[in-house]
Amino acid sequence: MTPSEIPIANIYYLLCYAWDVLQEKDSLIDVDAAESTDLVDLFARVLVSGTRHLLRRGLDRGYLSNEDEIAGVRGKLLVTQTQRRQLLRQGRAACQWDELEYDTLPNRILKTTLRRLQVAESLDQQTRTDVADLLRWLEPVQVIALRAEHFRRIQLHRNNRLYGFLLHVCEFLFEHWLPEQGGSEHLFRDFERDQLPQLFEKFVFNFFQLELPATEWSVTRSKIFWQMSAPNEDARKLVPEMQTDVCLKSRDRAIILDTKFYAQALKERHRGNAKLPSSNLYQLFTYLRQQSHVSGWEQSEGVLLYPRTTQTFDVDFVTHGHRMRALTLDLTMPWHNVRQSLLVLVGAS
C-alpha cells in the first residue's frame, strides 16, 4: 500500500492521531468535505485556516533581545561599548533591551512555510490567493532558511496547542517537500518507505490511547524481559529486552499488538503459496510466552496488524493457551469504518 492509494482524508486522520492533535483536526478544515486530492494543497488550506485563526486571536509574541546605539538609556547600559565609542558626548549610549515582538521562531516557521507553498504548482488558485493575503499580514515576521533544528528549539505552552498542530504540518512539509533537480520547482517526496511504517505504529498506539476509556483500559508500550534461569554475566549484559508496539490491558483482557507495514503482507513460497512471514509469528509468540510470567498476562492475546494491500485476511488460532490473530486494516475505507474496525478488534465498539 502506498500513500497514493490511501485517501487524502485518511492520511490526514492518521497524521492527526500520530501527532496527538485530534482536538484541533476538525476546527480548521472539514477534511471529509474537502475536494483536494493533493496532500500539499490540503496542508496549505490547513495552514491558511490555522494562521487566520491565530491572527484573529492575536499572534503570539515573545521578548527578543535588541542591542543598539540610542539617544538616552534603555534597558541595560553597555558601559564598555559606550565609553569606547565616546557616545556620552553625543547624548547617546550603547544599550541592550528586550522588546515584545511578533518576530518569534514559531511565526517565522509559519511564514517561511507559507512563502514556500505560494509557489507550489499543485496549489488551488484560491488557496494561492489566500496564502498571498496572509503573507501581507505577516509582514513584521522574517523569512528564514529552515533547518531541522529549528523545530527542535520550539517550546510551546499548554494553552497554545494550535501552534503545535500547525508546526507539525510545517515540519512534515519541510521533511517531504523537496526541490526538483536542476530547478526551483518543488516535488512532494513519497514517504512510504521510511515514514508510513512509523506513522502506522504511532497512529495505532495513539488511536487506542485516545479512543478507549481510560477507566477501563491501559494503553502502553511495554518492555518485555527474557525470563532467564541462572544467567551468566554476558547474558545479563548482552541479551536485549523486547519492545512492544502496543499493550492493551483491561480487567479481563490483555493484548499485545504489533503493527507491520509491508507492500505485501503475505510472502510467496516456492510453490506459489502465500504465507504470513514466519518471523512475525515467532516474534509475537515470544512476546506472549515471556510476558506470561507477569500477573494478569498469563493468557494474553497476540495481534499482528497489517494494512490491507492486495488481500484481506483474518487469521485466528490458539496455541499454548494464547489466542493469536493476524489481520488486515483497510485504510482505503471511509474513516468511520477504519475507526470502527479498530474498536471491534479489541471488543470496544
| Residue 64 per-residue DSSP state | E
Q: Which residues contact 256 (CB under 8 A, 6 or more apart)?
A: 244, 246, 247, 284, 287, 288, 291, 300, 301, 302, 303
Domain co-membership, 151 together with 264? no
Domain total for the chain?
3
Q: What is the reported pTM?
A: 0.77
Grid coordinates given for 211: 479512543
Q: Give the pairing of strands 218-220 and 223-224.
A: unpaired
Asked if 147 and 292 sit in the same domain, the reply is no
Does residue 117 sit in the same domain as residue 221?
no
Block residue for cell numbers 547617546: 92
Which residue would you say has higher pLDDT here, 254 or 272? 254
Q: Exposed, middle or buried, 204 (CB in 10 Å: 0-12/13-18/19+)?
A: buried
For residues 80 and 173, state if they share a domain. Answer: no
- Structural domain including 129 reads 3-60+104-190
**Rounded to an integer, what distance in angstroms lies between the CA atom of residue 106 and that of residue 114?**
12
pLDDT in tens, 159-215: 677 888 899 889 988 887 655 444 444 555 555 545 678 888 999 999 999 999 999
What does the pLDDT read at residue 218?
95
Percent of the chain with pLDDT over 70: 87
Tell me, what's the pLDDT at 184? 47
Query: Within this chain, do residues 238 and 326 fall inside the same structural domain, yes or no?
Result: yes
151 and 134 share one domain = yes
Neighbouring-strand partners of residue 186: 179
Which range, 44-58, 88-102, 249-263, 315-329, is most confident? Answer: 315-329
Predicted confidence at residue 194, as pLDDT, reads 55
172 and 69 within one domain:
no
